[in-house]
Amino acid sequence: MCMQCVAGAMTAGATATGTRVYVAARHFAWVTPIRLKRITIGLIALAFLASALAVGGSSAPAERPSAGATAPR
């Protein structure tokens, strides 16, 4: 796995964790332990899905010359 992919995944995980901590620390009335667990799972799943779709790994493969083409001299 390339470093860009790892960095993207780590950033996404940290963002999801930070959002979860913020929601838990605000003591919203609707946040129960079960809902907080579901929020955590949803945030991490969405973050890693977004990082997988938004961060492209390597560049496109180099084009190969066709069978009839000759190499430049």
Both structure tokens of 63? 């084009």
Q: pLDDT means per 10 residues in the chain (73 residues)?
A: 76 84 88 90 84 66 62 60
Residue 53: what pLDDT? 80
* pLDDT computed for residue 67 by the predictor: 61
Q: What is the pLDDT of residue 60?
A: 61
Nearest to 8 by CA among 54, 70, 71, 69: 54
Tokens of 15: 């963002």
Return all residues near 5 (Cβ < 8 A) that are at least 6 apart. Answer: 51, 55, 57
DSSP assigned state of 29: T
What local confidence, expressed as pLDDT, does residue 34 receive?
93
Joined tokens for residue 67: 């069978």
pLDDT at 72: 61
pLDDT score, position 8: 76
